[in-house]
């Protein structure tokens, strides 16, 4: 399979580890992170890289996102009721 960027055939798979944080700002830094272990498909010619999260890790991200949204909704409702 050729690189989607430069069309080179010099792509290789590499194991990786990615720490995913929620992008909500400084107030979420203490909420931890999720470690994901995707394989990276790297073009050794131009550096273009692709990866897919494994299905189990994607489920974990969805669960974490749902919990975060519910927490924000409760905080928002509490502020609006008390404000």
Does the pLDDT of residue 44 top 60, yes or no? yes
pLDDT the model gives residue 33? 81
Indicate yes or no: pTM above 0.75.
Answer: no
Domain count, the chain: 1
Domain annotation covers residue 74:
yes
**Is 41's pLDDT higher than 60?**
yes
Three-state secondary structure of 14-48: EECCEEECCCCCHHHHHHCCEEECCEEEEECCCCC
Predicted pLDDT at 79: 54
- Say which residue, 40 or 77, is predicted with more confidence: 40
| Model pLDDT, residue 21 | 79
Is 4 part of any domain? no
Total length of the chain: 83
Do the domain assignments include residue 44? yes
3-class state of residue 4 by DSSP? coil
pLDDT beyond 80 at 34:
yes
Burial of 43 (0-12, 13-18, 19+ CB in 10 A): buried
Enclosing domain of residue 15: 11-82
């Amino acid at each position: 399979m050729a690189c989607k960027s430069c069309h080179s055939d010099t792509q290789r798979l590499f194991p990786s580890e990615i720490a995913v944080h929620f992008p909500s700002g400084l107030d979420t830094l203490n909420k931890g992170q999720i470690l994901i272990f995707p394989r990276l498909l790297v073009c050794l010619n131009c550096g273009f890289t692709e990866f897919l999260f494994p299905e189990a890790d994607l489920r974990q991200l969805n669960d974490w996102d749902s919990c975060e949204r519910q927490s924000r909704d409760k905080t928002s409702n509490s502020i609006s009721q008390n404000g």
